[in-house]
Structure 1
Amino acid sequence: MILKHELKLNIKTFLIWTIIIAGMDFGFMLMYPSLQDALNNAMDAYASMGAITQAFGMDRLSMAEPIGFYGAEIGSIFTLGGALFAAIIGSGILSKEEAGHTSEFLFTLPFSRVNVVLQKVAAVILLILAFDIINLLFGVLSFVIIDADLQIKKLFFFHLAQFFMHVEVATICILFSAFMKKVNLGLGLGVALLLYFLDIMSRILDQLKFAKYVTPFYYANAADVLTESGIDMKLLGIGFIVMIISITVGAWYYNHRDLAA
């Protein structure tokens, strides 16, 4: 009941973000054939950008190839756009009940608070899963339309890594949401952007190399996944721990706190 209700409430946000991100990615990939010659000529310029080249993986991804263009350009849009979408739906999933003065009614239903939290988390994960599947399908379709080499294994692992990263961002935001009395989208978006820039800085500055264990963007990085055809399981394992801790602590605190009517 709650799961279905949350899916309905978030369907508008889901559709807007899915159409925008999938549409942008699809459109850029369709432009690739007309840009291919220019990209071939620009490869030396990309290679000479120093730390920026390394940060965005352009030292390993050739934008003159469809899969490299997908990782460098499309991957950047999808990575950040998906994380912001996950942050938005995660940030308000619990706190909106107090903000909207619906918590009193919600907890008259025959569900424990923990059950309510778990159903809401499940709704968030399903929305993210649908978002990522649709983007993957549009990605595959774009490769077919431009008659490019469809490296389905690489695409699958990239989108799988993106799914886990989006879920991790969402669960961190859900944790913060459990402590909030009002919906704070700014905090959620700030968390997503901070983790994104930590990934970039960890690839540029040796002093911040440790940040790869903190930000989920690191194991979902397009250059890493597409060139290695897989996900760093050690970092993904840390991500799973973060997800479990975020959900557990969030549910525990939400179960024990006093909620305003």
Structure 2
Amino acid sequence: MNVVDLLTGGAEDLGEADEISVIDRLVGLAGLNIMDVGCGDGRVTRQLVEHGALALGVEPDPIQAEKNRAADSMPGLTFMEAPGQSLPAKDGSIDGVFFSYSLHHIPRKYRDGALIEAARVLKPETGFLYVMEPMLVGSMDALYRPFNDETEVRTQAYEALKRTAAPLFTEARELHYYASVHYDSFTVFVEEVAGTTYNHFSRERVDTPEVNALFEAGRAGDDYVFIEHTRVNLYRGPRP
């Protein structure tokens, strides 16, 4: 699929899949020098290392960045505090840049600059940009909407990809997949969502009757299951 295909809306449907198996299938990781921009708590960054990459997780939130640095580390894993529009890497030094559900969190005025920065640090010809974004469908999206309706920012992030990222690369693919997310209880969900500094969700915003009702609708036996749909935009071959 080329850039024209992306701009006209072509997409591949992978069905049910988990994020790391999709990553392995699309790019492989062994021995690659990877940067995960807006890495949050580093969950995806750690998976990249577990699957063979050398990974730098970059997080702009100072509190979360410090937590990442203080957490148990592993060989090949590094965390730093830095914004997406000013990446801590030399020109042409990185095999792959990931935005793991983070592009829409970058302020709009910096978002295009962050994509340009990603292209700058990627190796010529072989470098790739891998962008994972939640889609505006499914029961997980519905669960979040009462306290975090991201329709506008996710739409703007997708527009930034088409406007800025696509012209920077020679190849592009768009892929869709979905996965089941399980929770033991509403309390666990609330504590997970409200327990991060980079998302800025107060417990009062999340722990409401409306959200609780949506959560209860996800009951499946002894736990609660929600479907999360993900879009991957993969770009290869940075243009000189």
Give the number of the structure whose alpha-carbon radius of gyration is greater.
1
TM-score by length of 1: 0.25
User: Which protein is richer in helix relative to its size?
Assistant: 1
TM-score by length of 2: 0.27
Higher RCO (CA-CA < 8 Å; seq separation 6+):
1
